[in-house]
Amino acid sequence: MDHSQHHHVHKGTIGNTAVAQTKSSDHMMMNHAMSFHFGTEETILFDFWKTETAVGIAVACFITVLLAFLMETLRFFRDYRKAQTQLHQPPISPEDRLKRSPQLDLIDPLLQLFQLTIAYFLMLIFMTFNAYLCFFTVVGEVVCHLLYRTLYPNLNSSSAGHC
């Protein structure tokens, strides 16, 4: 029986304090807050994106707003392309859809790939439970969404219901 994937707990002492250590060659245990908190020390998405100061968390919040803006821009652009295609082309029969050029059909899935990836990054940033990052994730998304809906009120958003 292979036990290489199991975690083993070893008890030891540091000074006069008993300590339990988890040892695993494949996994690294990390402390992760499971409740909303305020603070400046965070690891965001990747090990190299760490904040330790108020300036660091402010920069992370700014980057989060930029990611929300980028995601909304991709969503808008997909809706815009779809509206332009429907406006300038007559309805396409199922037989004609099979004859269309494959490179034209790859643009929207690629845009959706990037939009979905950014949406999951924003979700994971929110899941740090840092109140600052959560606030700017939501505010960035709402402000960017309202901006595009205000500038282009007649654009029917088909992708607004999903990421």
pLDDT tens track for 72-111: 999 999 998 888 877 766 666 666 666 665 555 788 899 9
**Burial of 75 by CB count in 10 Å (0-12 exposed, 13-18 middle, 19+ buried)?**
buried
Give the pLDDT score at 154: 83
**pLDDT-based confidence at residue 8 (cuts at 50, 70, 90):** very low
47, part of any domain: yes
Burial 76-93 (b: 16+ CB within 10 A, else e): bbbbeebbeeeeeeeeee
What are the Cα distances from residue 135, in Å, to 80, 91, 92, 126, 159? Answer: 28, 43, 44, 8, 23
**pLDDT-based confidence at residue 24 (cuts at 50, 70, 90):** very low
Q: How far apart are the first and last CA of the chain?
A: 43
> In whole angstroms, what is the distance from residue 97 CA to residue 112 CA?
20
For residues 21 and 10, is the Cβ–Cβ distance under 8 A? yes
Give the pLDDT score at 23: 47
Residue 146: is its pLDDT beyond 50? yes
Give the pLDDT score at 63: 97
22, part of any domain: no
For residues 115 and 21, is the Cβ–Cβ distance under 8 A? no
162, part of any domain: no
23, part of any domain: no
Of all residues in the chain, what percent carry a pLDDT higher than 70?
A: 66
157, part of any domain: no
94, part of any domain: yes
49, part of any domain: yes
Q: Which residue has the higher pLDDT, 7 or 78?
A: 78
Mean pLDDT estimate for the chain? 80
Cut 0.85: pTM above it: no
Question: 23 has which bridge partners?
Answer: 8
Burial 104-128 (b: 16+ CB within 10 A, else e): eeeeeeebbeebeebbebbeebbeb
65, part of any domain: yes
Q: Work out how many domains the chain is built from and give that number.
A: 1
Token pair of 39, please? 């603070």
Q: Which residue has the higher pLDDT, 125 or 84?
A: 125
Mean pLDDT of 114-126: 97
* Host domain of residue 125: 33-151
